């Protein structure tokens, strides 16, 4: 552990480094629970950071596209910044005037988390007080990062509340298996264990439909490169400026809490592979559609559109307003628990 920096409000931020016997290295900071670096080998044994991010705290404090952060209380969008639960109505902050996104104006990505080390990882905790960003209930949240010698980075989420609330947690890392700042993800080969997805309207709010991916650019049931679909003329792609959609994962035969394969990403030039396994019902695929060329990454290079791929394991967007989606309600006496693993290897 080392001192990473001090926020504008005078809060000390710590950095933790996880290493394994294979030489893989993961760095994270207590501010936002942000994964700042994930170094993994290619087929030739050369290591590179495959996670987009910055080189200093000030850039993470400024506005940015949630690089590497824990997002909550509610990851993704809630339409109109409002929802009803158990007969009570709640109003949330709306970033763009039409929806609440990733927890509000000051979500979990902008909070400094308490940290505790354990054998092969770090446990972060945060108490979100009743009414924070409009959400009800005092919510105790724990996020555990661990790394094993098989190059598996595991993120485990737990939470409990003292009043009915809604909850949707994820990590918002952007990956580029060529290495951070090394170009687009157009030639990455993606496979998704999903027969359907949730289309959105022009505001990127789910319509409530669950639609088959067959015959659409959203069909990644067999491996294919990301670029052609990202540039397609499909109305859904045009509205979102690329992939920014929730896929409904196939979980037949899996019990609640059991991890299943969600996605596999393969970069053929250097041979890096990343598999995503999760207990969540969905994964949001976001291909960095609006990455800003004014953002200078940790490598000193400018980030451009589609220079990173986010795979946000989650419940579905706007679930509190969509009765046909899996529930995100959490009540006193219950406990939220979910895990996601990023498994790295080479061909």
Report the alpha-carbon angle 343-346-347, nearest 5. 130
Q: How many Å apart are CA 87 and CA 34, to the nearest integer?
A: 35
Residue 106 and residue 61 in contact, taking contact as beta carbons nearer than 8 Å: no
Q: What does the alpha-carbon distance between residue 90 and residue 88 come to, in Å, rounded to a whole number? A: 7
Helix (H, G, I), strand (E, B) or coil at 110: helix
d(C-alpha 318, C-alpha 206), whole Å: 7
Measuring CA to CA, how many Å separate 120 from each of 3, 146, 236?
20, 6, 42
Residues with Cβ within 8 Å of 200's Cβ and at least 6 positions away in sequence, in order, are: 206, 207, 236, 239, 240, 245, 317
Q: What is the DSSP string of 197-231?
A: EE-B-TTS-B-S--EE-TTSTT--SS-EESHHHHT
Query: Which residue in the list 14, 182, 312, 341 is annotated as catalytic?
Result: 312
Q: What's the Cα-to-Cα distance from 166 to each of 81, 159, 326, rounded to whole Å?
A: 13, 11, 12
Sole residue written with tokens 């936002």 = 32
Catalytic-residue membership of 102: no
Q: Which of 102, 132, 133, 172 is catalytic?
A: 172
Query: In 3-state terms, what secondary structure has residue 239?
Result: helix
Known active-site residue 312: yes
Burial class (CB in 10 A: 0-12, 13-18, 19+), 185: buried
Tell me which residue has tokens 């307003």: 321
Cα separation of 178 and 308, whole Å?
10
Catalytic residues: 172, 312
């Amino acid at each position: 552990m080392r001192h990473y920096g001090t926020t504008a409000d005078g809060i000390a931020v710590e950095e933790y480094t996880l290493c394994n016997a294979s030489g893989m290295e993961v760095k994270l900071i207590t501010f936002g629970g942000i994964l700042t670096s994930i170094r993994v080998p290619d087929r030739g044994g050369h290591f590179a950071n495959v996670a987009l991010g910055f080189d200093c705290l000030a850039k993470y404090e400024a506005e940015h596209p949630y690089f590497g952060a824990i997002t909550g209380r509610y990851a993704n969008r809630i339409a109109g910044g409002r929802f009803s639960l158990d007969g009570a109505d709640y109003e949330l902050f709306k970033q763009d005037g039409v929806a609440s996104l990733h927890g509000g104006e000051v979500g979990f990505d902008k909070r400094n988390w308490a940290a505790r080390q354990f054998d092969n990882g770090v446990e972060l905790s945060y108490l979100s007080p009743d009414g924070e960003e409009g959400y009800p209930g005092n919510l105790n949240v724990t996020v555990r990062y661990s790394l094993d010698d098989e190059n598996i980075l595991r993120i485990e989420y737990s939470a409990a509340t003292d009043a009915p609330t809604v909850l949707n947690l994820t990590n918002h890392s952007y990956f580029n298996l060529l290495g951070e700042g090394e170009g687009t993800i157009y030639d990455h080969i993606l496979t998704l264990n999903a027969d359907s997805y949730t289309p959105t309207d022009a505001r990127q709010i789910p319509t409530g439909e669950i639609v088959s991916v067959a015959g659409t650019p959203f069909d990644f049931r067999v491996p294919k490169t990301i670029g052609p679909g990202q540039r397609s003329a499909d109305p859904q792609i045009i509205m979102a400026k690329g992939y920014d959609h929730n896929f409904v994962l196939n979980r037949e035969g899996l019990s609640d809490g059991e991890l299943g394969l969600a996605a596999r990403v393969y970069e053929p030039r250097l041979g890096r592979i990343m598999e995503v396994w999760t207990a969540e019902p969905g994964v949001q695929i976001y291909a960095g559609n609006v990455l800003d060329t004014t953002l200078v990454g940790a490598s000193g290079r400018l980030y451009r559109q589609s220079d990173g791929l986010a795979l946000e394991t989650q419940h579905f967007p706007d679930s509190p307003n969509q009765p046909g989606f899996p529930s995100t309600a959490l009540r006193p006496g219950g406990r939220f628990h979910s895990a996601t693993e990023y498994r790295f290897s080479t061909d």
